[in-house]
Amino acid sequence: MKKRVVITMLCGALAASLLAGCSGQSSETASGNASGGQTQAAGAGSAAAEDSSQAGGEVTWWTWSTEATDAFTQQIEYAQTNNPNLKVNIQYTANNDYWTKLPVAIAGGTGPDIYQMTRPSFEMYAASNQAMDLTDIIAGSEALTEYLDSIDPTLRDTYKFNGKQMAIPITVEATAVAYNKDLFDAAGIDLQEISKDWTWEDLAEIAKQMTVKDGSGETTQYGFYVAADRIPTWEMIWSRGLEMFDENGETCTLDQPEIAECLQPLVDMYNAGVSPSVDVVTSISGDDMFISGKIAMITAGIWKVPSFNNITTFNWDVVELPFDSATGGRKSSSNVLGLVINPNTKNPDGAVALLEQLVQPDCQKIFADSHIYIPALESVRSGYFEGDVPDNIVAYENALSYLHPNTLTQYIPYAQFTTEYVNALTKAYRGEATMQDALTEVCGLINGIMDENKAQFQQ
């Protein structure tokens, strides 16, 4: 694909919806001294596959994850201690600016040696020649081979594109239902016991019981927050055994009647008044309403735990997601983060050498022990789940056994898809359209966008 097409797709199509602004500040926050020179290799890094254990030189690593600064600093210290030939320069860029700056820099030959990837955006970067094919490099690297053989195959394979390994997964996420334990205790409802085999319909009934109105009919306590967002709707779709795109990512399939059917409990709950309205949460978020004690239950990704840990006015806990009543299955969405090597890197040997250090168990363990991310390597996760809050954080740990990576398609940017999808859910919740009609409309819109973008890939 020509660079012009790459930039059009990843900076033109993305900029319209995925990105705000077209520049960003990046700052170096961790680096180290290196002995030994920079090694350059031609082609797809074949030299790196031969022997990267002592490769070095300066390696630039781009990320947006400022919350992980301390963990990354420790990991860089680990890498440079174990391979003194490496000098790692990590640069942080604000999230929106990151996705604007990255494709332009890669295409222009000034980008990082390795960069962080979020799972829903992966296909577009892989399809646009913005990611190096690591298949042969991994075959020649004992460290990378051992690592990928040791992690869940679902995590490994989610970063394959057209059968080729294009990134190294490093972290996972999980989803559960957080609840106000004090409210449930007062209502005499043991949610831990109920949740052992509950369904979304069961959750809906409990939400009605936990919704409280005052004498004037004003709701003073909501039973459940029905979010117009991917959580919990993606979980519900995938638990039903359905997908939002066909197997090849060529066509959006949100218009399937089964999808509208499995999301109907959310519409019913919204209509029953168990949730704050879409309009209410434009001025105060669902999270803030939960933290203030006004919502009894809320679906929450594990990244919400640190903010919920600051709650001092009531006790809270978590339970696992409900089962799908039709299939008996359940899925937890997971934004698996990965590390990608820039195909235009001038130091592929050094980039591979850094990856070989970052996947070491002791280095992955830093994520867990710092409570920043759940490492992809299961054998070192235990430190993440230690602690008193929430009491049943094991609900998140259990969810890792039924996760579904947040896969989309190469033909539409993640945020553009999300914007249209959320608009459709909002219409259904407000009663402006049935769920089926809202999903049929947005499915046609998304397929139209995808058709336009496919033409660019074919140039």
Q: How many CB atoms lie within 10 A of CB 248?
A: 8
Residue 43 has pLDDT above 70, yes or no: no
- CA dist 204 and 213 (Å) reads 17
Mean pLDDT confidence for 22-39: 34
pLDDT the model gives residue 31: 39
Residue 11: the pLDDT is: 54
Mean pLDDT lowest for which of 60-64, 267-271, 453-457?
453-457
Average pLDDT over residues 432-437: 98
pTM over 0.85: yes
CB 79 within 8 A of CB 351: no
Q: What percentage of the chain has pLDDT greater than the value 90?
A: 83
Q: Mapped to the 3 state alphabet, what secondary structure does the chain carry?
A: CCHHHHHHHHHHHHHHHCCCCCCCCEEEEECCCCCCCCCCCCCCCHHHHHCCCCCCEEEEEEECCHHHHHHHHHHHHHHHHHCCCEEEEEEEECHHHHHHHHHHHHHCCCCCCEEEECHHHHHHHHHCCCCCCCHHHHHCCHHHHHHHHHCCHHHHHCCEECCEECCEEEEECCEEEEEEHHHHHHHCCCHHHHCCCCEHHHHHHHHHHCCEECCCCCEEEECCCCCCCHHHHHHHHHHCCCCCECCCCCCECCCCHHHHHHHHHHHHHHHCCCCCCCCHHHCCCHHHHHHCCCECEEEEEHHHHHHHCCCCCCCEEEECCCECCCCCCCCEEECCEEEEECCCCCCHHHHHHHHHHHCCHHHHHHHHHCCCCEECCHHHCHHHHCCCCCCCCHHHHHHHHHEEECCCCCCCCHHHHHHHHHHHHHHHHHCCCCHHHHHHHHHHHHHHHHHHHHHHHCC
Of 26-30, 262-266, 426-430, the poorest mean pLDDT is in: 26-30
More confident residue, 283 or 442: 442
- Mean pLDDT, to the nearest integer, of 229-235? 97
- Checking if the pLDDT of 48 tops 80, the result is no
Query: What would the pLDDT profile of 367-410 be if each residue is shown by its tens digit?
Result: 999 999 999 999 999 999 997 789 999 999 999 999 999 999 99
Overall residue count recorded for the chain in this entry: 459
Domain ranges in the chain? Answer: 3-173+335-376, 175-333+414-457
pLDDT bucket at 110, cuts 50 / 70 / 90: confident
pLDDT at res. 146: 98
Find, among 32, 90, 72, the residue nearest to 56 by Cα: 32
Average pLDDT over residues 222-247: 97
What pLDDT score does 53 carry? 58
| pLDDT tens sequence across 182-196 | 999 999 999 999 999
Torsions phi, psi for 273 (to 5 deg): 80, 20
The architecture of the domain spanning 175-333+414-457 is 3-Layer(aba) Sandwich (3.40)
| Position 42 pLDDT exceeds 90 | no
The residue among 359 and 43 whose pLDDT is bigger is: 359
pLDDT value of position 259:
98
Q: pLDDT, tens digit, for every residue of 327-375?
A: 999 999 999 999 999 999 999 999 999 999 999 999 999 999 999 999 9
Does 68 score more than 80 pLDDT?
A: yes
What pLDDT is recorded for position 15? 42
423-444 mean pLDDT: 98
Share of the chain above pLDDT 70, in %: 88
| Mean pLDDT, rounded, for 163-180 | 98
Per-residue pLDDT tens digits for 258-285: 999 999 999 999 999 999 999 999 889 9
Q: How far, in Å, CA of 127 to CA of 124, rounded?
A: 5
- At the second CATH level, the architecture of 3-173+335-376 is 3-Layer(aba) Sandwich (3.40)
Tell me, yes or no, if the two domains 3-173+335-376 and 175-333+414-457 fold the same way. Answer: yes
Give the mean pLDDT of the chain.
89
Q: What is the pLDDT at residue 455?
A: 83
